[in-house]
Amino acid sequence: MRPLQKMRTWWRGLERKEVTLQPSVTAVAHAGYSGEVVTPSSAMALSAVWACTNLVAGTIASLPFEVHRKAGRLTAVDPSHPLHGIIYDSPNYDQTALDFWEFLNFSLELRGNAYAQVERNQAGRVVALYPIHPDAVSVRRTEAGALEYRWTREGRSYQGADRAVLHVRGPGGDPLGGMSTLQVGYQAFASAQAADRAAASTFANGLRPSGVLKFKEWLTDEQRELVEEKLPSRYMGAVNAGRPFIAEGGVEYQSLSISPEDAQMLETRQFSVEEICRFFGVPPVMIGHPGSATAWPTSVEQQGLLFQRFTLRRRVKRIEQAVAKQLMTPAERAAGYSVRFNMEALLRGDSAARSAFYGSMTQMGAMTINEVRERENLAPVPGGDVPRMQMQNVPITEAGKNNGTQ
């Protein structure tokens, strides 16, 4: 079996059953007041949870993750650093950088922690990163004060200190681990699951209200079996919707329940979507839900900016600092090395915003024409390396001096 197939088989196996290789490792599961048990698998069945986690994890994973070095007042990408190729292009033999970071971001959103096994060479340099399922990891503080990790990967057990594991913690936690969104908001997710289950039951009954069959006399055993078993199979379910009910022998049918609109089922499900978006910090419009007209700015562009500033920025910073602290040496950080997600890549799909940004930067002399062309993957032009500035509102006595007139 190929390594990638082994990893997929191992991941699916962990999703199907609780991990028992480590006594302290259990899957995240909470029961809400509604009676629904919330786990990562059950929560992901909610379209809003899947959309929010997929949006956050996919957006961050798609950003270029680069090693930068500061020299004087300038900071530039340094592709020669050994860590650059690992976090930017290929963390391990099986995965691309997008696959790897998407896995870690999904782990952060659903379980509050993201782990990767660090492989180093004899010189101590990082040569590969292998993702670890969060449910297969246990963390403890030793008597000496160090963190000790125990985990399983591909059927093997491992144990190591913090240098052996890249650990990105979720918000509000401690050195042993962070808190997950599902852990904090399990009541809201349980209510959403209950609403989905109620809606599914309504559809299973063909959107027909339940009622009472009235008989004038006591039923025999044969008649009772007919009513309880035969009639539901013939008239219940979406496939039987609209079938005429045959009443004979003095049978009367009386409807008892109310319609889904009267029960405010649709309003409940809409509120659940907005609650889930609130927990993940995602504007509802970005997952295909209009949301409340007063809760967010009316402009989709402004909602996108809020998403970048207040949702993505903190998550991106958390990963950057974890990678720099755990995968770089103090000497490298002192020499000006750092890691950074290129947030400007979010402008690639917006030509108007990209054009306005380049126009402002070239007009104030902050960027040259060739720097702009390089970012757009265009060949340099002669004279394009000279910064330029517009001359506006100059004194009238200075007008025309550059071209030799007075």
The better pLDDT of the pair 391, 405 is held by 391
The phi and psi torsions of 125 (rounded to 5 degrees) equal -80, 145
pLDDT in tens, 316-343: 999 999 999 999 999 999 999 999 999 8
Give yes or no for residue 191 having a pLDDT over 50. Answer: yes
Give yes or no for residue 371 having a pLDDT over 80. Answer: yes
Most confident of 59-63, 196-200, 350-354: 59-63
Per-residue pLDDT band for 101 (boundaries 50, 70, 90) equals very high
pLDDT at 336: 92
What's the rounded mean pLDDT across residues 295-315?
A: 76
Q: Are 111 and 171 in contact (CB under 8 A)?
A: no
pLDDT at 288: 78
Domain boundary assignment for the chain: 1-203+260-348, 208-259, 352-406
Give yes or no for residue 265 having a pLDDT over 60. Answer: no
The better pLDDT of the pair 18, 155 is held by 155
Per-residue pLDDT band for 205 (boundaries 50, 70, 90) equals low
User: What are the angstrom distances between the C-alpha of 189 and each of 37, 39, 172, 222, 317?
Assistant: 9, 9, 19, 45, 27
Give yes or no for residue 315 having a pLDDT over 80. Answer: yes
For residue 224, the one-letter residue type is: R
Q: How far apart are alpha carbons 395 and 64 in whole angstroms? A: 46
pLDDT at 294: 52
Instruction: Of 217-231, 238-252, 287-301, 375-389, give the lowest mean pLDDT range.
Output: 238-252
Give yes or no for residue 231 having a pLDDT over 60. Answer: yes
Q: What is the mean pLDDT of the chain?
A: 78
Give yes or no for residue 269 having a pLDDT over 50. Answer: yes
Per-residue pLDDT band for 394 (boundaries 50, 70, 90) equals low
pLDDT in tens, 108-156: 999 999 999 999 999 889 999 999 999 999 999 999 889 999 999 888 8
10 Å CB burial of residue 339 (0-12, 13-18, 19+) is buried
What proportion of the chain, given as a percentage, has pLDDT over 70?
67
pLDDT at 22: 35
Q: Are 63 and 343 in contact (CB under 8 A)?
A: yes
pLDDT in tens, 143-160: 988 999 999 988 889 999
CB atoms within 10 A of CB 114: 27
Per-residue pLDDT band for 212 (boundaries 50, 70, 90) equals low
What is the rounded end-to-end Cα distance, in angstroms, of the chain?
Answer: 82
pLDDT at 28: 59
Q: How far apart are alpha carbons 115 and 25 in whole angstroms? A: 14
